A and B are shown apart, each in its own frame.
Chain A
């Protein structure tokens, strides 16, 4: 296919050419970034927590009125006993938080007492000796806490447990060359010895600000003994989640009604926890998906509209070419090539624009760098879209009869 005459013809209608190219460029820039955002969010929300999610539910329990720390601890232990007797419940534990909760106690871990900069941030999880089993966590090395190591802790107590467990991600960060077992690290309250390493346990927040310690957690042998209550994490027998949740509520309120559970968040299956934690990620992905689809549709429609106009404008010329021996295929090829030329021009500009837009998003919103693969995929997508959109008007053009050459428009 000769390109020269096409270029000459394009010069005749610069405005339309520029408009289509511009539209392709802008669409490419937005669609590339949108696809990239979707991929990031989807990858983010499929990160594992490391716990037995389908069979776990959590309760946020608060006590009514003034309760001393000792009273709160006694009530908490009674509650755990009650929970463990509920039919369908496999085990129950208590903590100050749980993965995907959204926030809580994160603190710095240091390697020496004098160090000012923390070596790493980490989520602090309180745990009793049944924490690992209840959550379904795997111990990668070392041992679990013994029952006699678990101590109650009040709001303003110093966090200084003699022994702790850490997640493997934290262990690798603290001690990149060798085992963390038996090593001493410094928490806010003082030194602690690592006795166990847990394979995988996600932090309590999956927000961006917590992303640099996403899987780094410290597990301390403590129970929250405060009036504000604590979280109960309950693991049920497979398939028993729903009835166990209902039964747990009934059993606990029957045992002691002086407690407050939030209407919406008092008791949650872990599926609900997960869906709430990633609500905005999912929403952003859906929004970007819708915007991309509508944009592509509008761009395609714009191409169809303008090309149809050109075909209509050039019916006579097409007729003349056909009369001079051009085949239908030649005419079809002409319009397809014309579109390809415009699209390539637009796509090159769009690729640059996409990268510029991403760089701006990176500086303004701490987004990640756009991978060039996405730009390439976007370019291909838009070239295909252009060819698809131009097909119908081009076929119509190829059906113009040579007789048109003799007719006045």
Chain B
């Protein structure tokens, strides 16, 4: 059988060499089609993946309507919480773990006066942030609930900031000054940058540069650190005249997250949110029926449109492109196979079965597919360099040519070509031996 297969491959190779132009045309069509699909798929794969697969079904964003139906967007409550509700959720402590967070930007003044000061992006959050999101640590750990309670001046810095400031040494216990405030380092987070950054979709930071510092939420409030992220005051006025007024107004700027195990806990938490909103109504703060949401990571990403529309359009166009390339290949294979009707007739007359014809021509098609796939891989590699042309740089650099993509490209090319070859091969196998012999 394997001898037969090798024979078929030899026959195929000879036939392909006979019409080099036709063969090149098919190979190029498949190559271009595969490359276009693979490049756009690589980007799509990068932006549509699950950023925290091990926990995405256990992490939830609670939302509470604090403004009333006339200010809702299609009935949806705002995408974040105001200070009042954020603090209330933390105090209620109804989930296994919970955190509230907002983006910050702090300035670092290097000790060496020759070096220019720089700003580092990061988050103010509570201690549960680290175990909830499985943040890996190079040194030390996150801070404790007691640190949160004590409004402690502690900080977790990233591996890259640790490299920049301390040459990569274990800096746990050392002091660092940010915006003229001293913090004690309790942990150095290892490389960690989930894409999209699901926990800060509110501020549009899905694909921003990695965060470098994490400071306790309570401490940040004491220091009056301003949010570096979004601050959405909606249409409802009530945004206050100064910082105090703003804090107790209806502007939303804090992203809340809770960790819940199992459907029962989720139902209980949803119930809690509803009753919380109901309490607010009774207290006279809300004068509308409770309007709350509890979304897990994936439905949250879907709701916030984490996949950029460019990526979808490009993928759709690329797949359409590939289909055309395949239709083209079917046509060319048909031409190629039918041109050899007489050869087929002779082989059939000499005793070759329909199955033999099938195997011979599918092997030939498989070779075209393989060659097209290889060309496709090369073109994909070249195309990856140009991905930045179409997609924003922070998204473009997510697309990678890795082993799985290369194998997928080859597999798709061969499978598609063999599939495309079925109709032409079937036609070829229909050739009646006697007719061909007669006409010659």
Binding site for B on A (CB under 8 A): 15-16, 19-20, 22-23, 26-27, 29-30, 33-34, 62-66, 103, 108, 116-118, 155-158, 188, 226-228, 257-260, 262, 279-280, 282-284, 286-288, 291, 294-295, 298-299, 301-302, 305-306, 308-309, 312-313, 361, 364-366, 408-409
**Measured between alpha carbons, how far is A16 from B246 in the docked complex, in Å?**
71
Q: What would 18 more interface pairs be, CB under 8 Å, given A30-B320, A283-B388, A409-B440?
A: A16-B334, A19-B331, A23-B331, A27-B324, A62-B105, A103-B204, A156-B241, A156-B245, A156-B246, A260-B116, A280-B391, A294-B36, A294-B321, A302-B328, A302-B331, A309-B334, A309-B336, A409-B342
10 interchain pairs (CB within 8 A)?
Answer: A16-B334, A257-B117, A258-B109, A259-B117, A260-B117, A282-B389, A294-B32, A298-B28, A306-B334, A366-B309
Binding site for A on B (CB under 8 A): 22, 25, 28-29, 32, 36, 70-71, 105, 107, 109, 116-119, 179-181, 204, 226, 228, 233, 235, 237, 239-243, 245-246, 309-310, 312-314, 317-318, 320-321, 323-325, 327-328, 330-332, 334-336, 338-339, 342, 388-392, 423, 427, 439-440
Contact B117 A280 (CB under 8 A): no
Contact B29 A260 (CB under 8 A): no
Contact A301 B323 (CB under 8 A): no
Most central of A262, A282, A302, A361 by chain B CB within 10 Å: A302
Contact A157 B241 (CB under 8 A): yes
Contact B118 A260 (CB under 8 A): yes
Chain A residue, CB-CB nearest to B39 = A287
Contact B390 A287 (CB under 8 A): yes
Contact A156 B240 (CB under 8 A): yes
A65 to chain B, nearest CB (A): 4
Contact B235 A64 (CB under 8 A): no
B87 to chain A, nearest CB (A): 18
**Measured between alpha carbons, how far is A173 from B6 in the docked complex, in Å?**
75
Chain A residue, CB-CB nearest to B247 = A156
Most central of B241, B320, B342 by chain A CB within 10 Å: B320
Contact B312 A365 (CB under 8 A): yes
Residues from chain B with a CB closer than 8 A to the CB of A288 are: 317
Contact B242 A260 (CB under 8 A): no
Chain A residue, CB-CB nearest to B244 = A156
Residues from chain A with a CB closer than 8 A to the CB of B318 are: 291
Contact B180 A306 (CB under 8 A): no
**Measured between alpha carbons, how far is A294 from B181 in the docked complex, in Å?**
59
A405 to chain B, nearest CB (A): 15
If A66-B179, A309-B335 touch, whether A188 touches B239 (CB-CB below 8 Å) is yes
Residues from chain B with a CB closer than 8 A to the CB of A20 are: 331
**Measured between alpha carbons, how far is A64 from B119 in the docked complex, in Å?**
8
Q: B180's contact among A66, A279, A284, by CB below 8 Å, is which?
A: A66
Contact A280 B327 (CB under 8 A): no
**Measured between alpha carbons, how far is A405 from B22 in the docked complex, in Å?**
27
Contact A65 B324 (CB under 8 A): no
Contact A301 B25 (CB under 8 A): yes
Contact B335 A308 (CB under 8 A): yes
A394 to chain B, nearest CB (A): 16
Contact B242 A156 (CB under 8 A): yes
Chain A residue, CB-CB nearest to B33 = A298
The 6 closest A-B pairs by CB, nearest first: A309-B335, A283-B390, A19-B331, A65-B180, A302-B328, A283-B389
Residues from chain B with a CB closer than 8 A to the CB of A366 are: 309
If A228-B226, A305-B335 touch, whether A108 touches B320 (CB-CB below 8 Å) is no
**Measured between alpha carbons, how far is A228 from B121 in the docked complex, in Å?**
13
If A15-B427, A309-B335 touch, whether A116 touches B70 (CB-CB below 8 Å) is yes
**Measured between alpha carbons, how far is A262 from B118 in the docked complex, in Å?**
8
Contact B235 A116 (CB under 8 A): yes
Contact A305 B331 (CB under 8 A): yes
Chain A residue, CB-CB nearest to B251 = A156
If A156-B243, A287-B390 touch, whether A299 touches B32 (CB-CB below 8 Å) is no
Contact A19 B327 (CB under 8 A): yes
**Measured between alpha carbons, how far is A288 from B116 in the docked complex, in Å?**
43
If A64-B109, A260-B117 touch, whether A286 touches B390 (CB-CB below 8 Å) is yes
Residues from chain B with a CB closer than 8 A to the CB of A301 are: 25, 29, 328
Contact B25 A188 (CB under 8 A): no
If A26-B327, A155-B226, A298-B328 touch, whether A16 touches B313 (CB-CB below 8 Å) is no
Contact B324 A298 (CB under 8 A): yes
Residues from chain A with a CB closer than 8 A to the CB of B25 are: 301-302, 305
Chain A residue, CB-CB nearest to B35 = A294
**Measured between alpha carbons, how far is A292 from B70 in the docked complex, in Å?**
46
Contact B324 A23 (CB under 8 A): yes
A390 to chain B, nearest CB (A): 14
Most central of B245, B335, B336 by chain A CB within 10 Å: B335
Contact A291 B36 (CB under 8 A): yes
